Every structure is written in structure tokens, then in C-alpha cells.
Amino acid sequence: MNKVGIYGTGKTAEIVHQYLKNEYEVVAFLENNSTIKSKYNIPVVDDYTFDKRIPIFVAIGVNKLNTLRQNVYLRLKREGYKFISYIHPRATVASTVTVGENCIIMEENVVQDFVDIGNNNILWSGNHIGHHTWIGDHNFISSHVVISGNCEIGDNNFFGVNSCIGDEVSVGNYNWFSPLTHSVQNIGDEQLLVLPKEARPVVAKSSTKRYFKVA
């Protein structure tokens, strides 16, 4: 079984560990100056002490629009570390898809033909990525997101649960798509997309038990 290190000790690292441990021997968690000395009986070490012959996965979430993960990944890359990417066996990824390094594609993702995925991307479970779509670096695609065919997605974007991008739409960099938001028009940079107030649920004054006459 091949060895791997996981950078991070937070919740994203915990989830990534659950996936990687089935196919890799996880020999260390990496986190500089950590107060934690071990996790799951695996040592937590400073990255500069880690054997660079062993590849790693940077398991940091969407913090600061993925820039925390980006900065760690780029620093370690400059220092000569190697990275793995992981595709879950229950993900449907076409043979013509290209995937960069330090990417994870979790279960039930459908990635259609001729999709190009860059480096340092997280695709959480259950998304659809349409054919001939290009995705840049350092993105986080949460769950049940639809990115239609022929789209171009830049860097450092976040796509919330059930967000949707229409066919042939271009999305720039550093955008935040809140859950349930969608766009059929091109999006530039640094846009915060949220649902309009009229689309948000209104909590009725009556309780559910009173409304449905539950004794």
C-alpha cells in the first residue's frame, strides 16, 4: 500500500482521511506548530520534517475563498513536495477527463467527457460537471451542484449546495455562490451571489402542530 501524508487536522482532513485510508497508508498529518501530537494514532508533524519522497494531500476547506488551502499548496509545491489526487470509486469520471494534482472527487460525482479540472480543487459528493467544461484551480464545489456543459470556471470560487450554472457560462475568480443560487449569464470576479429576499422561506407565526392540528 502506497504511503501518503495529509496536511491539516480539521474536519476536512478528517473526511479526507476516511477516504484515503482505504487505498493508502496514511503515515502522518502535517500541521506546523500544532498542539495536537497525534490523530487516529497517526503522528502530527511539522511539514519541514516530513519525507518529501512521500506525496501529500492538502486537506483544507473553503477558508477565505480557498486561499488558505491555495497558499499552503503553493508553498509546499515550491519546497518540492509531491501531491496526490483522489477519485472515489463510485464517482463517474469519463476517460477523456483530465484532473490536476491535489484534487479530490468524492462519491456520486458525474464528470462528463472532455472536462478539464485544474489543481487543488475539492468536489464534494454528488455533483454534475457537464461536458467540455474547464475548471481552474483552488475551487470548492460542495454538493448537488450542476455546472452545465461548455462552461469556463476560474479560480478560488465556491459553489454552495444545489447551486447551478447554465450552459456555456463563464465564471471568473473569487466568486461565492450561496446555496440554491444559479446563473445563466457570465459572472465576472469577486461576486457574492445570494437568493433574493422574495425567494427565501418565510417562517409562519403558527407552529406546525397547530397548523396541522397535531394533538
Q: What is the side-by-side strand order in the sheet with 116-117?
A: 98-99, 116-117, 134-135, 152-153, 170-171
Burial of 170 (0-12, 13-18, 19+ CB in 10 A): middle
207, pLDDT greater than 90: no
Nearest-Å Rg of the Cα atoms of the chain is 19
pLDDT score, position 71: 98
Which tens digit of pLDDT belongs to each residue from 145-161? 999 999 999 999 999 99
pTM of the model: 0.93
Asked whether the beta carbons of 26 and 2 are under 8 A apart, the reply is no
CA nearest to 161, candidates 142, 139, 147: 142
Closest to 157 in 3D by CA, of 170, 145, 173: 173
The reported pLDDT for the residue numbered 214 is: 83
**How much of the chain exceeds pLDDT 70, in percent?**
100
Nearest Cα neighbor of 163 from 149, 191, 183, 187 is 183
pLDDT digits (tens, 9 = 90+) for 95-148: 999 999 999 999 999 999 999 999 999 999 999 999 999 999 999 999 999 999
Cell of 57: 494531500
Q: DSSP assignment, residue 162?
A: T
With 80 as the cut, is the pLDDT of residue 212 above it? no
